[in-house]
Structure 1
Amino acid sequence: MRPAAAAPADPLLLVAAIEAAISSRSPRLGRAAHARALRLLAPAIPPFICAHLVNLYSKLDLPGAAAAALASDPNPTVVSFTAFISGAAQNSRPLPALSTFAAMLRLGLRPNDFTFPSAFKAAAAAPSRSTVGPQIHALALRFGYLPDDPFVSCAALDMYFKTGRVALARRLFDEMPNRSVVAWNAVMTNSVLDGRPLETVEAYFGLREAGGMPNVVSVCAFFNACAGATYLSLGEQFHGFMVRCGFQMDVSVSNSMIDFYGKCRCVGKARAVFDEMGVRNSVSWCSMVVAYAQNEAEEEAFSVYLGARRAGEEPTDFMVSSVLTTCAGLLGLDLGRALHAIAVRSCIDANIFVASALVDMYGKCGGIAEAEQVFLEMPQRNLVTWNAMIGGYAHIGDARNALAVFDDMIMGGETPPNYITLVNVITTCSRGGLTKEGYKLFETMRERFGIEPRTEHYACVVDLLGRAGMEERAYEIIQGMPMTPSISVWGALLGACKMHGKTELGRIAAEKLFELDPQDSGNHVLLSNMLASAGRWAEATDVRKEMKQVGIKKDPGRSWITWKNVVHVFQAKDTKHEMNNEIQALLAKLKRQMQAAGYMPDTQYALFDVEEEEKESEVFQHSEKLALAFGLICIPPGVPIRIMKNLRICVDCHRAFKFISGIVGREIIVRDNNRFHHFKNYECSCRDYW
């Protein structure tokens, strides 16, 4: 019996199958349609089927299959070539797109109004010094597509902006006879990306003056410009206009408004926009997380993340990396570890942004070994990664390892340092006692790396020299600064003078700080303590009295410690905690053990208006000691005790923690408002300078 003949192929059904594969992004369905076409139509597959196959593989980013489909067409048309060029350009493969464009020209095929925009897109992503963009421009002029065709003109305009040829872009824009909203949007969006927010605003008003109506892209670009330049009043007025026009219903516009208000430090208004959204996407949740994180509201940021998960949002690389920054602010090492696990489970832990955020989080939370592990396992690194690793070492004063990572970064040659890198390196040299190395880097940073010293670098070098007892040299550098010294610069000098007893120079630094920030109680307290340590009690008392007279109040010391997902907060002389009896009993026991080991309470300037016995009692009820006692009671042996404090740790608590770390054999990590302190075996990582 003869087999039944195959049913004749319907080309339109094959095209429908190919288009379905593209819309569903299914390579399997696309290959099945291709196989059927080969079986039923070979060897004479119609050109329009070949064009659809090239489009299929190009859109699905299968470059090898796309090239094979194009090569198999004996008579490729401009449609087939354009499909390949478009797919390569859209999938960030500019060189294959441009080489195929050149091959099409060699065959004598004329590019059309779809080919040129794709070619310009590829040229925009080509190496920055490439001249291919202007060459394509000349070709488009010769074929009559410029300047009249709006789509080709806008693509050329975008190409010039993205390749840094701003003058040529403006000239092309001026020559356009009919400027569509797309052309204005190209000007606005690229001005935002290039850090020229004022030009974005001017372009928007130019669009309106020309009688054009903005679209969603225009509106988002305007809010992005207001966010970048913190034009709060202008953005608020524009918000009102958007409500009147109905644009606030668009999710992208609402996301832009959340970002705008967050960057302008109006997180309450950002939350109001978020709460009014009828539809939210992943960007909405991430924008709200970032808005809280930017405004030091880490707990609220983490709460929004949990809300996103409850709403069914899957963790994305941007969402996880954003939430990891909040863990760093909260010193939430356990939360960070949980997010690390989520990143691994979601297969985004190798993403460079997530991995960099993990390095930063572990470094800021004191988990330097875990930061090292993530750093070493990363398949690629960017500037943020290197800075995070160096910064992690800077936090704990590990200068040798920080310099080793910095040297690797320089020798690699792929990622040049920026000003933040040098701030971290000089800081770690300061905290690690490498005065010569840090000062040399400061002096040569302009010649070696082309980086002009900023205020942050001067603050670091003043701290560097101050720690080495070279306060006069530090003061000379301050006097020679090309910009006005900041609070951080004078604060570094005051801290050094207090440590080394340079009271006269310290008073000069303090007076400058009082001018810059008269309401900061910390500077007054530091000056008072410096005078008290020098035995100048009357002057120290006068400083305290002056604080009271002008209404400056010292922030109460608070310390907090996390155990079993609960944050326990302590204040000095706090007796409200449910475990207060156990805490006091343990503190009394530790006091006896420390005194037997040679500890004497340091009360020389903490309190100078009460009896000595009362002073000892006061300093032993400081918030960090209460938190430590709680940690010793609850946290199992072998697990480091991590404490956060809102002020600098006091001299007596610092001395006591060194004793306790050795007596009980525990690692104690304290993050005060200045730096990390790792206490272990009677020593601290800060080497008694903070």
Structure 2
Amino acid sequence: MPAVWLASRKQNFRRYTVWRELKWPSATVAHDDSIKALYAFTNSSVWPPGFRFMLQHFQTWCCASQWPRPTPTDKSMHSFKSASRLCHAGACSRDIPFTHLQTTNNYISNMTSELQNEPDIASALQGSLRDCQYTHAYMVEAGLTGDVFLVNLVLRAYSKFGTMSDACAVFDGMPRPSIISWNTMIGGYINVYSVDEARLFFDRMFQRNVVTWNTLITAYARHVKSKEALHLFQRMYLESGLPNDVTFINVLSVCSQLVDLKTGRLIHVLICGCGLASSLTVGTTLINMYAKSNDLKSAHFAFHKLSQYDVASWTSLISAYARLEKGEVAFDLYRRMQQEGIQPNKLTIQSTLSAIANKLLLREGKAIHSCVCFGDSRLDVDIGSALINMYGKCGSIKYAWLVFKDVKLNATSVWNAMIAACVDQTCYWQALSLYYQGLQKGLKLDEVTFANVLSASALVVNLNIGLLIHTHIVEEGHEPDVVVSNTLITFYSRCNALEDAIAVFKKMRSYSVVTWTCMIAAYGQGGLNRQAVELFQQMQLQHVKPNDVTIATALGACADSIALEEGRMLHVWISFERNVLNSAVRSAIVNMYGKCGALADAFSVFKSLGVLENIVLWNAMISGFAYGGHGGEALLCFFRLQGECIQLDEFTFVGLLSACSHAGMVDEGICCFCYVASSLYIRLLLEHCVCIIDLFGRAGQLAEAQSFVYKVPFLPDVCLWSALEAVSRTHGDSVCGKWASEQILEFG
């Protein structure tokens, strides 16, 4: 066996230099010249003895063999050229083991398998599908299908183009596919959305690595097969040892989808055991999972375990507080992040503005607005939409208009935010005007636009405008959309067009829980209490689980003296099905008994609930006393509420003014209205003004009711004119009644 030759760096450099200067004879050169060039090449003194021996053996074989002499295009010459490239890459600087004489061509072919990247083939496989097919055909002709690395490149190329039939043919032709080959096939089937085929390949594997498991778990997570993903993760943990950070990120995303806090906490324990709790990506995903489950304490724990903080981790924590409408804490975190020297991104600002809007923190919102505008001449569309939404919810429609004009882009999201802000601030006609302006500008309207303008049409109770919008919805092809259909049902029910609402409901292809809720509310507003309860039962027969809003809506539909028995049945069902009731359901039960005239039952439920710090529950009790004409009890309840130091809201005074109206307490009602009008914390609603007109009318003060209409700080709508018409009819004032009727007709 030849002695081992180890070249120094200088000798290697010389050898490489000479090799670069040598030129391989082209295919047009005569064969004898090629052999001469080969002799000169093999006798070069710069090569180590072992390699010279190999080349001389190759030359002797070419001369003595009875086979046709190889040309530069044959497989042997291709192998030789591949070996030369290998030498040029420095792969031959290692020991060359010659345990016995072997066919030099085979030895060189073995050496070429060490070549981990053929530049020409790899680059060709990165081209089009046709280039890939041509390159594959060339590899078959050249006999390169035994090179697992190159075949894996072909598999990857076919998988990228989605031609899995070609990939399968290549894979089936491999004598011993590597684990990379299996993973490539699994990934290819996942890319063409054939997760079941990918699972078949997965089950056929005898050996799997972490990439194999992660690929399939990710596919299950993305295709909303959450239970399969968790089951596969459990199998991986038992069979293959510890997962990595990618695995944990995927299974935590699955827990977020399922809102499975228990499983998420178990995975958190495994993460801590693997030492990945300080990882930014894993920790941020943990925060998001806990935020979806409304577990802020655990989200904070995961946040503080991070080794360092970036904008993504801060944004995740701020979004967690924004979800639970904790605007003060979210804004405090926003300031702390900036103090740490981390600049917020677009998502951070949007999440903080959303949290601020829910808590009506106008001053903090203006502070963020000033920071955003500093140094920027034009607002970003997404941030501009968030600012408009914040100003709209905080009652500052003027600033919302300024932001809308500052954005200067006809983006649908900005127009949707401005229309929604107008609806929030009872500027319904301005919202409808914006809708028509958008049509004139050729704006591409979406389902959110239609939902907002339909809400505005419903609130002004204008059936004709709503019918025009419905026609436009059909023309644009948005009628099958569930959100738009739900809004149409609500619109028609508020306009007393119950038959049209039923027609929309029956035309829908699928029903969500919101759809059932809207239709139950429509029956309740139409006075069809029994049908509302029957629809509630039918919903459960369709295996649709009612949520708290659905239950509260069904109870509201029973809030009539003729539907007291149905209301009691619902109360019994709730007692059996729900162990814990939220504030909306509790107040709906009290409100139902109060409006049915069963004040004793309402007060009994009110006391039994024992959650007296909830303003919604107090509002329901005050409204119950008001509806029963017990103004004195309503006032006592209000004074007790003030003694509990609970923050009052707008609806507290709607119930109180209604109680004063029913009891004929004019002075007390006027005092309450003046308090609301001068308050900085309670927003004046149109319902308050309607209660004052009803108060004057019931007291026989028709002139005061008429003059009050001109003093209302809103544009008078149908509700206001209807209240004036009702009191005019009660007192036989035909002139005032006719005038109010004419105003109502102008609204369509």
**TM tier, shorter chain?**
0.5 to 0.7
Secondary structure (helix, strand or coil) at the match of 2:543 reads coil
Post-superposition Cα deviations, 1:600-652, rounded to whole Å, max 9, x if no partner, equal xxxxxxxxxxxxxxxxxxxxxxxxxxxxxxxxxxxxxxxxxxxxxxxxxxxxx
| Residue 204, structure 1, aligned to residue 435, structure 2 | yes
Structure 1 residue corresponding to 2:589, chosen from 358, 375, 379: 358
Structure 2 match to 1:248? 479
Q: CA distance change for structure 1 residues 165 and 489 in 2, over 3 Å: closer, same or farther?
A: closer
Q: Contact between 1:121 and 1:159, CA under 8 Å: does it hold in 2?
A: yes
Residue identity in the other structure for 2:268: H
Counterparts of 1:206 and 1:244 in 2: how far apart (Å)? 18
Residue identity in the other structure for 1:441: E
Q: Contact between 2:279 and 2:307, CA under 8 Å: does it hold in 1?
A: no
| Residue 305, structure 1, aligned to residue 536, structure 2 | yes
Q: CA distance change for structure 1 residues 234 and 127 in 2, over 3 Å: closer, same or farther?
A: closer
Structure 2 match to 1:374? 605
User: What TM-score do the two structures reach when normalised by structure 2?
Assistant: 0.58
| Residue 27, structure 1, aligned to residue 261, structure 2 | yes
Q: Contact between 1:331 and 1:365, CA under 8 Å: does it hold in 2?
A: yes
Structure 2 match to 1:460? 698
Counterparts of 2:450 and 2:635 in 1: how far apart (Å)? 46
| Residue 93, structure 1, aligned to residue 326, structure 2 | yes
Q: Aligned pair count?
A: 472
1:153 Cα deviation from its structure 2 partner: 2.3
What value does the CA root-mean-square deviation take over the aligned residues? 3.2
Counterparts of 1:9 and 1:387 in 2: how far apart (Å)? 53
| More helix by percentage | 2
1:178 Cα deviation from its structure 2 partner: 2.5
Post-superposition Cα deviations, 1:203-228, rounded to whole Å, max 9, x if no partner, equal 22233333321111111111111111
1:394 Cα deviation from its structure 2 partner: 5.6
1:193 Cα deviation from its structure 2 partner: 1.9
Residue identity in the other structure for 2:566: L
| Residue 427, structure 1, aligned to residue 665, structure 2 | no
| More strand by percentage | 1
Post-superposition Cα deviations, 1:475-505, rounded to whole Å, max 9, x if no partner, equal xx4466544995765777xxxxxxxxxxxxx
Structure 2 residue corresponding to 1:405, chosen from 637, 640, 652: 637
Counterparts of 1:488 and 1:156 in 2: how far apart (Å)? 41
Structure 1 match to 2:347? 114
Q: Contact between 2:287 and 2:302, CA under 8 Å: does it hold in 1?
A: yes
Q: CA distance change for structure 1 residues 486 and 149 in 2, over 3 Å: closer, same or farther?
A: closer
1:373 Cα deviation from its structure 2 partner: 0.9
Counterparts of 1:148 and 1:393 in 2: how far apart (Å)? 50
Counterparts of 2:580 and 2:276 in 1: how far apart (Å)? 46
Residue identity in the other structure for 1:58: A
Residue identity in the other structure for 1:78: V
Structure 2 match to 1:571? none
Q: CA distance change for structure 1 residues 40 and 333 in 2, over 3 Å: closer, same or farther?
A: same
Counterparts of 1:347 and 1:290 in 2: how far apart (Å)? 21
Give the % identical residues: 23
Q: Contact between 1:491 and 1:513, CA under 8 Å: does it hold in 2?
A: yes
Q: Contact between 2:321 and 2:330, CA under 8 Å: does it hold in 1?
A: yes
Q: Tell me whether 204-213 or 225-234 shows the greater mean CA deviation.
A: 204-213
Q: What stretches of structure 1 move > 6 A for 4+ residues in a row?
A: 381-384
Structure 1 match to 2:337? 104
1:384 Cα deviation from its structure 2 partner: 6.4
Structure 2 match to 1:658? none
Residue identity in the other structure for 2:639: D
Post-superposition Cα deviations, 1:416-469, rounded to whole Å, max 9, x if no partner, equal 6425423324534x6xxxxxxx3553565555665767231123334xxxxxxx
Structure 2 match to 1:668? none
Structure 1 residue corresponding to 2:653, chosen from 395, 418, 426: 418
Taking the TM superposition and a 5 Å limit, the aligned residue runs for 1:100-499 are 100-128=333-361, 130-142=362-374, 144=376, 147-347=378-578, 350-378=581-609, 379-380=611-612, 385-386=617-618, 388-390=620-622, 392-393=624-625, 401-412=633-644, 414-415=647-648, 417-428=652-663, 438=665, 440-442=667-669, 444-446=671-673, 450=677, 454-462=692-700, 477-478=701-702, 481-483=705-707, 489=727
Q: CA distance change for structure 1 residues 39 and 409 in 2, over 3 Å: closer, same or farther?
A: closer
Structure 2 match to 1:684? none
Structure 1 match to 2:304? 71
1:309 Cα deviation from its structure 2 partner: 2.8
Counterparts of 1:8 and 1:382 in 2: how far apart (Å)? 48
Secondary structure (helix, strand or coil) at the match of 1:131 reads helix
Secondary structure (helix, strand or coil) at the match of 1:65 reads helix
Post-superposition Cα deviations, 1:220-254, rounded to whole Å, max 9, x if no partner, equal 11111111112211211221221222211011111
1:333 Cα deviation from its structure 2 partner: 2.2
Q: CA distance change for structure 1 residues 360 and 515 in 2, over 3 Å: closer, same or farther?
A: same
Counterparts of 1:329 and 1:226 in 2: how far apart (Å)? 27
Residue identity in the other structure for 2:640: D
Residue identity in the other structure for 1:338: M
Counterparts of 1:81 and 1:101 in 2: how far apart (Å)? 8
Secondary structure (helix, strand or coil) at the match of 1:415 reads coil
Q: Contact between 1:487 and 1:513, CA under 8 Å: does it hold in 2?
A: no
Q: Contact between 2:400 and 2:421, CA under 8 Å: does it hold in 1?
A: no
Q: Unpaired segments of 5 or more residues in structure 2? A: 1-237, 678-687, 710-722, 739-748
Q: Contact between 1:93 and 1:122, CA under 8 Å: does it hold in 2?
A: yes
Post-superposition Cα deviations, 1:275-312, rounded to whole Å, max 9, x if no partner, equal 11111112212212222222323333333333323322
Q: Unpaired segments of 5 or more residues in structure 1? A: 431-437, 463-476, 493-508, 518-690
1:349 Cα deviation from its structure 2 partner: 7.0
* CA radius of gyration, larger in: 2
Secondary structure (helix, strand or coil) at the match of 1:454 reads helix
Secondary structure (helix, strand or coil) at the match of 2:496 reads coil
Counterparts of 1:391 and 1:126 in 2: how far apart (Å)? 25
Q: CA distance change for structure 1 residues 156 and 395 in 2, over 3 Å: closer, same or farther?
A: closer
1:183 Cα deviation from its structure 2 partner: 0.8
Q: CA distance change for structure 1 residues 372 and 104 in 2, over 3 Å: closer, same or farther?
A: same
Counterparts of 2:579 and 2:452 in 1: how far apart (Å)? 29
Q: Contact between 2:635 and 2:656, CA under 8 Å: does it hold in 1?
A: no
User: What TM-score do the two structures reach when normalised by structure 1?
Assistant: 0.62
Bigger relative contact order (CA 8 A; separation at least 6): 1
Counterparts of 1:22 and 1:440 in 2: how far apart (Å)? 55
